[in-house]
Homo-oligomer: A and B are copies of this chain.
Amino acid sequence: MTARADHLVGVLGGMGPAATADFYARLIQHTPASRDQEHLRVVIWADPTVPDRVSAVLEGTDGPYPAMLAGARRLCELGVTVAAMPCNTAHVFLPRLVADTGLPFVDMIEETVGALTRAGTAPRAVGLLGTRGIVHSRLYQDRLRAAGIRPVEPGPEVQAEVDAAIRAVKRGELATAGDHAVAAVRRLAGGTVDAVVLACTELPVALRDSDRAGLPLLVDPTEQLAVAVVTTCLGAEAHRAG
């Protein structure tokens, strides 16, 4: 087992920047530590100039891949022992990144679906809020179905609210983002879902200061990824609840 201080967590980030900052904050929050020296060593490669992931997934092109690969190669060269990519849509390229670099990525989608099924009573129907790219990719839907959970996709009006929330986070307009994200959750939850997956890392940022009263259970992949990375690094040591 690698000792805590020998681990180097690599973050392939910047997609987008606020989501990467959010992920790093959760990683720190979930690491049991009483002083700096007990925290994890982390290197973050945050390149927001990576071309748009959503249009690439929708059009079936690999526009963002070369920049993502370049970033992953830098993390490799730095000696990363555990890697994370806090962007759901970018996970479409994860298998290729792993094949090309061998970086030991923790898969955010796998961790999120795993957390849902590990819960005492797994939900029967789960709503999905994310970019048009992640919805189109079916990464979440296929894994949820395989776990016996029915995925509920956003309709056009919900998707428009999600898109507006994501764009607002990237502009730094968090209050506007929160309003759109809450509207998206409410509309989707109007159906019969037991929980909603915030399947774009900008959505937890959007909802950070929002009033969640009356909203269904929100499942946050950023949180699941942070917990999984800490658990991978600390092994049997328990992680601290956030």
Contacts and interface: CB of A to CB of B under 8 A. Distances in A.
Interface of A: 5, 14-18, 20-21, 24-25, 28-29, 31, 33-52, 74, 78, 167, 170-172, 240
Given A21-B25, A36-B48, 7 more contacts: A14-B39, A20-B24, A33-B170, A37-B48, A39-B48, A40-B48, A42-B44
Contact of A36 (B16, B21, B44): B16
Nearest to A53: B36
A169 to B, nearest CB: 10
Contacts of A52: 36-37
Which of the listed residues A28, A36, A44 has the most CB atoms from chain B within 10 Å of its own CB? A36
Contacts of A18: 25, 28
Contacts of A36: 14-17, 48-50, 52, 170
In the complex, the count of this chain's copies comes to: 2
22 contacts: A14-B39, A14-B41, A14-B42, A17-B31, A17-B36, A17-B39, A17-B40, A21-B24, A21-B25, A28-B172, A33-B171, A36-B50, A37-B48, A37-B49, A37-B51, A40-B48, A41-B48, A42-B44, A43-B43, A43-B44, A44-B44, A172-B240
Nearest to A5: B49
A232 to B, nearest CB: 17
Contacts of A48: 33, 36-41
A39 B13 CA distance: 12
Contacts of A31: 17
Contact of A44 (B37, B46, B47): B46
Contacts of A5: 49
Contacts of A39: 14, 16-17, 48-49
Contacts of A15: 36
Contacts of A14: 36, 39, 41-42
A97 B43 CA distance: 19
Given A21-B21, A39-B16, A39-B17, A172 B45 contact: no
A95 to B, nearest CB: 23
A34 B240 contact: no
A41 B46 contact: yes
A138 to B, nearest CB: 24
